[in-house]
Chain A
Amino acid sequence: MSDSSMFVRVGKWIDYRMPIFTMMNHAVVIYRTPRNLNYWWNFGSLAGLVLVIQLATGIVLAMHYTPHVEMAFDSTEHIMRDVNYGWLLRYVHANGAAAFFAVVYIHIFRGLYYGSYREPRELLWWLGIFILLAMMATAFMGYVLPWGQMSFWAATVITNLFSAIPLVGTDIVEWMWGGFAVGNPTLQRFYSLHYLLPFVIVALVVLHLWALHRFGSNNPIGIETKGDKDTLPFHPYYTVKDLYGVGVFFIAFFAFVFFAPNYMGHPDNYIPADPLVTPSHIVPEWYFLPFYAILRSATFDVWFLSAKLIGVILMFASILILLALPWLDRSPVRSARFRPVYKYMFWILVTDSIILGIVGGKVPSDPVFSGTDGFQYVHLGQIATLYYFVHFVVFVPLLSRFEQTRPVPTSLSEPVLKSGAGGTA
């Protein structure tokens, strides 16, 4: 008993001088959260969990890995064969990267569906997109580290994109490589940045949460909460709900880690990098395939813009366009639940993104329908790319003006107390 009172006294002593426990209590215990969040809201906490898993496994992997072109591949096999539970660390880390993107993509699409990017959450949305960009850079550089064939050629293809920049492109690429080709300096700087960027992501996540807690979560109804009747304290309601989500996530995640750890990888990456042998088919990991399809869909020059440069611009634009979304969408209603047309446009966009993903994994000149030469995957990719941008630049602004929205409840507790509508949580 004296122990526990001692414990409490020390806690109070610290909290008085630096109110860290008060802050945590506000952030994850008494923090008021909309009572009607459904399971699509679990993916934010899951993304945070995967980030921690990636940091923890990555820090230990870094203790055994050697960033040198002569030793990187061997040290990866050393981790797999000689380091205690090294195989587990590496498979968790590799599949964790894929899981991170899966979870974050669902998190982003949830935001698109329920209008979570709308005022006053524009900055929250922006920070999320910055996190995605930092994740992509981190994942790309991490994939290069084992120095297998796909590592090397992915590094070559992606860094070469910057050569499309007029006038200074070649200089920029050589500056990035640290030489005249992808080589040891490239590997070493990728390793350094792969260790740095995750902590940048952590900082962005802190800001993301800070912005989140200013107005609290959006919710499936898409109207602001009005007082305690509409909300619940985060603990125990959402701590336990998030934990249940973690359990379901782990079932899927560990099924991959223990029973199909190389399913999402490419066999060529178990061949040591060889600058003299180009793989017959260079493809990125699945989570980059839609962007790869957009990149490759530009096949013609326009004025002074080369096809390659247009592809690069389109690829970056496909993410940066999301930054403009809070101003492109001016619908009086946030949630797609009350937007009968947008709801369908949303699912078409999801389908479009999946089509882009499929196209990204194919040989562009292969026919979509076997036996007919006319319609190739590159054409399908061009249509899907065009649709992607038209959705954001044309359909979203038009819908926000002309869509007949359904009546929106005046408070969260209204549909929650009535049967049905909000009861899916």
Chain B
Amino acid sequence: MGMELGLRTAVAATVLCLATGGVQAAGNAEHPLTEHWSFNGIFGHYDRAEAQRGLQVFLEICAQCHGAKYLRYGDLADLGYDEDQIDAIAAQFEVEDGPDDEGEMFMRAARPTDTFPEPYANEKAAAAMNNGKAPPDLSLMVKARHDGANYIYALMTGYDEPPEELELSDGLTYNPYFPSHQIAMPQPLWGEDVEYADGTETSIEQEARDVVTFLAWASEPGMERRKNMGLKVMLFVLIMTGLFYATKRKVWKDVH
């Protein structure tokens, strides 16, 4: 009977075992605050207004140093931009194309099928201009950090005066949410550095929130489709399982 009674124990054990899969190196970084995000939960979606403002923050500030190479301008249709708007956004950027019929490379305005611009020619150039550390590509950043959305929000809003006993290395800035507390990226968001197209008042928190929503979308543009399909699949599987159970009961009725 132990095995039968053990079912609940086993399930609990399995959950425990699975939980260890998410084990993280916490380092000595402060644990990020837990914000509420529109994309959390089984009904989660990307808040379009936040994501559009986030795109503006990304293009005007982050993109100075960071790429997002897995994004194409055309993907922005997801965020509610129409074709003309996407053409206009793409056209602000120049990309190298070619070779042409004379064998020459040439610059042209970006099109919706182009990926977001790379700010530096190569990683060495990027590192040389940024305290020796190349700014990482941001397309996957929200998925590439533990509790990524909260972490990035905390990092953006967490720049502070360093404590007295801390001796900062050359060119680094204090941020208690960064694993070593010393980050090569100087404070990027200041609260009055963008003028939102939709008139929203700017603050460091507002900009951080918006850019995180944008980056969450960038890391997985298909999330809304996934969760939508998931709800239908779960409903289907629940009904199917109920029917199987009823059939099982009926078939086995005479055996017990």
Contacts and interface: CB of A to CB of B under 8 A. Distances in A.
B3 A286 contact: no
B241 A254 contact: no
Interface stretch (A48-56, A206-214, A256-264, A306-314): A256-264
Nearest to A246: B244
A255 B233 CA distance: 9
Interface in A99-129: 102, 106, 110, 113-114
Contacts of B197: none
From A232, A250, A261, residue with most partner B Cβ within 10 Å: A250
A88 B226 contact: yes
Interface stretch (A294-302, A359-367, A383-391): A359-367
A87 B251 contact: no
A337 B230 contact: no
A327 B172 CA distance: 64
A361 B144 contact: no
B167 interface: no
B81 to A, nearest CB: 18
A247 B256 CA distance: 23
Contacts of B244: 240, 243-244, 246-247
B222 A251 contact: no
Contacts of B20: 286, 289, 357-358, 360-361
Contact of A247 (B2, B6, B146, B240): B240
B235 to A, nearest CB: 11
A38 interface: yes
The main secondary structure of chain B at its interface with chain A is: helix
B240 A337 contact: no
Contacts of B238: 251
Contacts of A88: 226, 229
B70 interface: yes
Given A241-B248, A247-B240, A35 B18 contact: no
Interface of A: 35, 38-40, 77, 80-81, 87-88, 91, 98, 102, 106, 110, 113-114, 220, 232, 236-237, 240-241, 243-244, 246-248, 250-251, 254-255, 257-259, 261-264, 267-268, 270-271, 279-281, 283, 285-286, 289, 336-337, 343-344, 346-347, 350-351, 354, 357-358, 360-363, 423-424
Interface in B80-103: none
Interface stretch (B9-17, B46-54, B156-164): B9-17
Interface string B235-251: 00110111011011001
Interface stretch (B21-29, B57-65, B104-112, B207-215): B21-29
B208 to A, nearest CB: 20
From A237, A262, A286, A344, residue with most partner B Cβ within 10 Å: A286
Contacts of B55: none
The main secondary structure of chain A at its interface with chain B is: helix
Contacts of A263: 18, 21-22
Contacts of B25: 279-281, 363
B148 interface: yes
B226 A258 contact: yes
18 contacts: A40-B3, A77-B140, A81-B221, A87-B220, A88-B229, A98-B21, A113-B3, A220-B3, A243-B248, A257-B230, A258-B229, A286-B17, A289-B20, A336-B2, A337-B3, A350-B10, A362-B23, A363-B25
B241 A258 contact: no
B168 interface: no
**Closest A-B pairs by Cβ, 7 of them:** A258-B230, A247-B241, A286-B21, A281-B25, A361-B23, A270-B144, A361-B20
Interface of B: 1-4, 6-7, 9-10, 13-14, 16-18, 20-25, 27, 42, 70, 136, 139-140, 143-146, 148, 179, 219-222, 226-227, 229-231, 233-234, 237-238, 240-242, 244-245, 247-248, 251-252, 255-256
A424 B247 CA distance: 18
B54 to A, nearest CB: 19
A137 to B, nearest CB: 20
Given A241-B248, A271-B144, 20 more contacts: A39-B7, A110-B3, A237-B252, A240-B247, A240-B248, A240-B252, A244-B245, A247-B242, A258-B230, A264-B22, A267-B144, A267-B148, A281-B23, A286-B17, A286-B20, A289-B17, A336-B3, A346-B2, A347-B2, A354-B16
A68 B44 CA distance: 35
